[in-house]
Chains A and B, each alone.
Chain A
Amino acid sequence: MKNNILVIGGGAAGLEAAANLERLGYNIILIERDKQLGGHLAKWDRLFPDGLPAQEVLDSLLDNISNVKCFTETDIQAINILDKSFNAILSNGITVLADAVLMASGFDIFPAAKKEEYGYGIYENVITNQDLEQMFKQQQSISPIPRAIGFVHCVGSRDEKAGNPACSKVCCATAVKQACEVKELYPDADVYCFYMDLRMFGRRYEDLYLKAQKSGVRFIRGRVSEVAQTADNRLLVKAEDTLSSKPVRVNLDMLVLMAGMRPSEAGHKVGIQLNLTTEDDGFFSAKDGMLSLQKSKLPGLFYAGACTGAKTLPDTLHEARSAAMEIDRYIKENFIKK
């Protein structure tokens, strides 16, 4: 008989892990609380650094899970441990008995309205990185044609007061990617990136930065302090140009806030039921931070993706594959008699 494995979350991590576990011969039950699979990937238009369409990546992931039992619009109502297995009652009334559970609950995007000084939810031309991706995806243009657009890095990241002291890792590259895309669509517009440090750590990220510079994107080192509306419905943005130690102000037609990553609330609710521990940043703590990143302190419960901290998509996919291997080893050691 095939062993049951429950995968919590149908984003990139959950899908990739499910595909790999299925290939290893397990019976997978994947649950996703949204209507569609794909998590944040399904809401994105293009991916840094090369501008690969997110839909292409998602389609490839979905192609590999044809035999996986997926329940969408489904939550975990209750989960507990029975002997060595996990007993989960799903919101659709189904009960699942699984020998291992993979938490792939991912992240929530930081609610940008919490940073009131940026005016998200107050001024309609202040949007988030996710809103802009949606606009790109729906090929919705900005009207009237913008003369100036700004990007604010680190919104709800590296911000103790906002409850998230950590760097969200992906926003710098996303901002620079989006700045390039905006510049391509509106070559005459002035595009500004307000940053503290540019963390272009990945392969070809630095090339992306150079591309943005060459296309005329202006990088201003300083955190935006406040945004106000002007009489003609534009935005007055204030920051310090810390490289020249002078306050700087500029009027913009649109401001894009690079909202960071927070632990998934839905994942957290499941974690509470299983007494999973979190670190100060609110993300789940792995068994150890070096050699057992995919294991939790609870035998049989594994992690993959951004539920243990902000991650890029390739890193998330790596973790999903490595979690599948860890789960395979765990099942073989504990459930399959030699």
Chain B
Amino acid sequence: MIDFGFGISPSSGINLNNSDKDTFSKLAKMEPNVLKCMACGSCTATCTAGDFKTTSLRTAILNLQNGLKDEALEILSGCMLCGKCTMVCPRGINTRHLILSINKIYGK
């Protein structure tokens, strides 16, 4: 490549044309309830780990839908699997189990 003397930073935007939808379908097959999230943020608000390290299942689901796997895993990395979020989810999603499944399918 020709060196023009300047660099181009990668786009921070989301391109849904290239996002990985197949893996998310696999997750939705295993955990159909992931589709029911309405992004209310109850899980994030009640998260015990969240007081120390940004932890948000809502954001993780959104990231996975947007094809941002690494960001999703990072924002769940502080999760201690206490299960408090499962108690507050208004859609009745087994969030604790969902986090385990996300790690199973997307984890390294």
Note all chain A residues with C-beta closer than 8 A to B14: 241, 244, 246-249
> Closest residue to B37 on the A side, CB-wise?
A213
B89 to chain A, nearest CB (A): 14
Chain B residues near A190 (CB, 8 Å)?
Answer: 16, 21
CA of A218 to CA of B67 in the docked complex: distance in angstroms? 13
A244 with B59, Cβ < 8 A, contacts A216-B28, A218-B65 known:
yes
CA distance A209 to B35 in the complex (A): 11
> Restricting to B1-43, which residues have a CB under 8 Å from any CB of A?
12-17, 21, 28, 32, 35-36, 38-39
Q: Which of A213, A244, A247 makes the CB contact (< 8 A) with B62? A: A244
Number of interface residues of A (CB under 8 A): 19
Report B41 CB to chain A, min CB distance, Å.
Answer: 9
Contact with B along A240-254 (1 / 0, CB 8 A): 010110111111000
The contact of A247 among B13, B21, B35, by CB within 8 Å, is B13
With the chains together, A241 CA to B63 CA distance in Å? 11
Report B-chain residues with C-beta under 8 Å of the C-beta of A219. Answer: 38
- Check: B66 CB closer than 8 A to any chain A CB: yes
What is the chain A residue whose CB lies nearest that of B41?
A243
Given B16, B28, B35, which contacts A250 in the complex, CB threshold below 8 Å?
Answer: B16
Taking the closest CB of chain B, its distance from the CB of A255, in whole angstroms, is 14
Instruction: Please state if B36 and A214 are interface contacts (CB–CB under 8 Å).
Output: yes
- Determine if B35 and A216 form an interchain contact, defined as CB atoms under 8 angstroms apart: yes
Q: Would you give the shortest CB distance from A307 to chain B, in whole angstroms? A: 35
B62 A210 Cβ-Cβ under 8 A: no
Of the candidates A218, A244, A249, which one forms a contact with B63 in the assembled complex, judged by CB atoms under 8 Å apart?
A244
Cβ of A221 within 8 Å of any chain B Cβ, yes or no, is yes
Most buried by A among B12, B59, B63, B65: B65
Are B62 and A243 within 8 A (Cβ)?
A: yes
Contact of B36 with A248 in the complex, beta carbons under 8 Å: no
A246 near B17: Cβ-Cβ < 8 Å? no
Q: Tell me the nearest residue of chain A to B33, going by C-beta.
A: A214
Contact, CB under 8 Å: B13 / A210? no
Interface residues of A in 200-224 (CB under 8 A from B): 209-210, 213-214, 216, 218-219, 221
A213 touches B35 (CB 8 A): yes
Instruction: Determine whether the beta carbon of A248 is less than 8 Å from that of B66.
Output: yes
On whether the beta carbons of A241 and B35 are closer than 8 Å, the reply is no
Chain A min CB distance to B88 (Å): 18
Contact B15 A250 (CB under 8 A): yes
Q: Are B16 and A221 in contact (CB under 8 A)?
A: no
Q: Is the CB of A250 within 8 A of B12?
A: no
| Chain A interfacial positions (CB closer than 8 Å to B) | 190, 192, 209-210, 213-214, 216, 218-219, 221, 241, 243-244, 246-251
A-B contact pairs, 25 of them (CB 8 A): A190-B16, A213-B35, A213-B36, A214-B32, A214-B35, A214-B36, A218-B65, A219-B38, A221-B39, A243-B39, A243-B62, A244-B14, A246-B12, A246-B13, A246-B14, A246-B66, A247-B12, A247-B14, A248-B15, A248-B16, A249-B13, A249-B14, A249-B15, A249-B16, A250-B15
Considering the complex of A and B, which 6 residue pairs feature the smallest CB-CB distances, nearest first? Answer: A250-B16, A247-B13, A248-B14, A213-B35, A251-B17, A246-B14
Q: In the complex, given contacts A190-B21, A213-B38, what are 4 additional A-B residue pairs having Cβ atoms less than 8 angstroms apart?
A: A210-B36, A243-B62, A248-B16, A250-B15
